[in-house]
Chains A and B, each alone.
Chain A
Amino acid sequence: MSEGLNVIVCIKQVPETTEVEFDEETGRLKREGVDAVINPFDEYAVEEGLQIKEKYGGTVKVLSMGPSQAESALRETIALGCDEAYLATDRAFAGADTWATSYTLGLCVEKLAPYDIVICGLKTTDGDTGQVGPEMAQHLDVPHVCYVNKILDIADGKITLTRLLDDGVETLEAPLPIVISVSKDINQPRLATLRGRMGARKAEIKQITSKDVDADPARLGLDGSPTRVVKIFTPTPPEGGDVVEGTPEELAESIFKKLQECKVI
């Protein structure tokens, strides 16, 4: 592989979730002062793309879908060292669920072909589904591996990697091209250098619209989405019991008695 690997990293811009609060009275997300950031899970995907490039050579393209504001997230990945950035943006893409999103991203990936590896974060912190990666792989008709926690080797058109399952770690071998979703323990994402940031300011973020990818309009955006959100609400906190105060000895005794009472010990 003298010419290196073509890597495409998919990212999403999300509100900084740990700060998002729900206003009980108005039923709205409090967005004031909440920054839009790269989905934290995607930072690991970007880092892995950069590490592959450093080890095997090649290019890292970054792809996102969203409104024009998402350009700033893409610009950040250029600052980190990615080569090119593309934003799929079109009102026809709006309201897409994971099915329509993965269809659209799949078309964009094909437009950016040739590609060897498409890397996604495990999930996003807003939608929280983890479905777009595997669904996109199916639209592209290439294999997909979730929960990747280490890439062992890439050679001879094959990738060997490990993935984290509920009960252990599996080592897998798969042909390229492939889509992988990486878990948080795969690497430690780097920070952008000042020089990287300066360079990223002028970088061109190329736009992709529905016309560019020859999309079936019936499969885009809301029309192409099999699912609909019918209600959004705040989770209700449950009811509680006794609360005791006292010295540490008294508290330990109360807890100990409770444990015996409930036959836990």
Chain B
Amino acid sequence: MSELPISIDMDLCTGCGICIEACPFSSIEMAGDYPEIKDDCRLCGACVDACPEGAITIKEADGEADLSDYKGVMVYAEQRKGAVHPVAYELLGKGRELADQLGEPLYAVLIGSDVKAGAEELAVRSADKVYTYEDPALEDFRDDPYSALMAELVREVKPSLFLIGATSIGRSLGPKLAAVLETGLTADCTGLEIDPETRLLLQTRPAYGGNIMATIICPNSRPQMATVRYKMMKEAEVDPDRKGEIVAKPVDMEAIPDRVKIIGYQPSPEQVNIVDAEIVVSGGKGLGEPSGFSVIEELAQALGGAVGASRPTVDEGWKEYRHQVGLSGRTVRPKLYMACGISGAVQHLAGMKTSDVIIAINKDREAPIFSVSTLGAVGDLYEVIPILAEKIRKHKGDA
């Protein structure tokens, strides 16, 4: 067994114990007069910063690679059946900001069977250069050919940053690409910024079910890759004056791997997808029982919205995972979000707090959900919702 790459210099350590307090994972304990770092240390460095004597050091990896060749921000523009996924416009919005801060170009890459209209759209939405790969065989996403083409492009263009939407496709593609390129990938980022001093990408993401947020860097390999949560960033606006260049790249399907075949596809019968819905009505443990969701459905139907659910209700099996709103579920940003019987754990709030209007119904006056609500109603949802739904139906009938 080799040593942990973190160590305490016993000549400097005074045994004050501040590092024990600083460790978020309780991985340091007093062993006699001095602290000892346990094997489950995650090397987060909190103790290194906290130690007043500078006695704790983490051995850094040698950064030998020449990173100065890598410039620009590249964005993966996901498409489904020829239509660019809106997360790509959000990546361009954020990517433009980061590229401007670095004073470097913004690239987009689009792969599919008919990419011309999509490429035009990306070019007027602030991409300086749009690379396209077009072939009938590339119509549907498959990890093998898509990642092979993207790896080839990254090696040629050498972007410093690479952003991918954290959709089901992006979460499959991103890790494969990062493994191929031997670089770091930060999953499901909710915040991205450039450190003005180091010019590194500061990637912030939730962990532990949203109990903590972590900021992560990728100092010694390139590109610095992140998957980015949908509905967290502002879309790049259309700016006809800023039309980027479109570069069509050749495709040789024979030369790239393609091991997994798609032999069928069944679109979800889903009424409304909560992520795209303009109105979301969500239920929580305050419903008391699984059948309580019928009240939520009644209100959602009256409003013409989708049904959301808090994590505890999904964990209990009251509602399917695809309805889950929150850090460990989906992030939503509708015009109206109604939280019924949801107390408002921080993880839930993080998944809906950017909604335009938030209305909460809860029995508990102290529920944290009220601290983010545009309007909070203290009462029994079983009494309030039927009256409200009836009012809405009547209003819509009259209108």
Q: Identify the A interface with B (CB < 8 A).
A: 15, 17-18, 20-22, 26-29, 31, 66-69, 90-92, 94-95, 97-99, 102, 125-139, 143-147, 160, 162, 164-175, 183-185, 209-210, 218, 221-235, 237-246, 248-249, 251-256, 258-260, 262, 264-265
Partner of B217, one of A26, A230, A241: A230
Q: Is B175 a contact of A170 with CB atoms below 8 Å?
A: no
Q: Mark B143-176, 1 if CB is under 8 A from A, else 0.
A: 1100000000000000000000001110110111
Known A99-B185, A131-B175, A251-B361: A17·B396 in contact at CB below 8 Å: no
Give complex CA distance A83, B265 in Å: 36
Q: Say yes or no: is B267 at the interface (Cβ < 8 Å to chain A).
A: yes
Q: Mark B200-234, 1 if CB is under 8 A from A, else 0.
A: 00100111111111111111110000000000000
Q: Is B217 a contact of A138 with CB atoms below 8 Å?
A: no
Q: Is A230 a contact of B384 with CB atoms below 8 Å?
A: no
Give complex CA distance A180, B67 in Å: 34
Give complex CA distance A252, B383 in Å: 9
Q: Is A171 a contact of B260 with CB atoms below 8 Å?
A: no
Known A238-B372, A244-B376, A264-B357: A255·B396 in contact at CB below 8 Å: no
Known A91-B1, A171-B265: A135·B176 in contact at CB below 8 Å: yes
Partner of A171, one of B40, B216, B262, B388: B262
Question: Which residues does chain B contribute within 8 Å of A18, judged by CB atoms?
Answer: 209, 315
Q: Is A29 a contact of B25 with CB atoms below 8 Å?
A: yes
Question: Which residues does chain A contribute within 8 Å of B372, judged by CB atoms?
Answer: 237-240
Question: Which residues does chain A contribute within 8 Å of B284, judged by CB atoms?
Answer: none
Give complex CA distance A172, B2 in Å: 43
Q: Determine chain B's interface SS by DSSP, over half rule.
A: mixed
Q: Select from chain A the residue with minimum beta-carbon distance to B179.
A: A138
Question: Which residues does chain A contribute within 8 Å of B275, judged by CB atoms?
Answer: 166
Q: Is A246 a contact of B4 with CB atoms below 8 Å?
A: no
Q: Is A29 a contact of B24 with CB atoms below 8 Å?
A: yes
Please tell me which stretch of B42-50, B101-109, B112-120, B288-296 contacts chain A, meaning at least 4 of its Cβ atoms lie within 8 angstroms of it.
B42-50
Q: Select from chain A the residue with minimum beta-carbon distance to B376.
A: A243
Chain B residues 288 to 323 lying within 8 A of chain A, measured CB to CB, are: 303, 315, 320-321
Q: Say yes or no: is B69 at the interface (Cβ < 8 Å to chain A).
A: no
Q: Is B259 a contact of A265 with CB atoms below 8 Å?
A: no
Q: Identify the B interface with A (CB < 8 A).
A: 1-6, 21-26, 38-46, 58-59, 61, 80, 143-144, 167-169, 171-172, 174-176, 178-180, 182-188, 202, 205-221, 259-268, 273, 275, 279, 303, 315, 320-321, 327-328, 335-336, 346-347, 349-350, 353, 356-357, 359, 361, 365, 368, 370-380, 383-385, 387-388, 391-392, 395-396
Q: Is B1 a contact of A134 with CB atoms below 8 Å?
A: no
Question: Which residues does chain B contribute within 8 Å of A240, judged by CB atoms?
Answer: 370-373, 376
Question: Which residues does chain B contribute within 8 Å of A26, judged by CB atoms?
Answer: 21
Q: Is A128 a contact of B328 with CB atoms below 8 Å?
A: yes
Partner of B39, one of A68, A130, A172, A249: A68
Contacts A/B (CB < 8 Å), 11 sampled: A132-B175, A134-B175, A138-B176, A165-B168, A239-B372, A243-B373, A244-B376, A258-B357, A258-B375, A262-B356, A265-B395
Known A22-B211, A29-B26, A184-B321: A252·B187 in contact at CB below 8 Å: no
Known A234-B212, A237-B349: A210·B143 in contact at CB below 8 Å: no
Known: A125-B208, A134-B174; 15 extra A-B contacts, CB below 8 A, are A28-B21, A28-B22, A28-B24, A95-B43, A99-B179, A125-B328, A131-B174, A131-B178, A138-B176, A167-B268, A170-B264, A228-B45, A243-B370, A248-B380, A264-B303
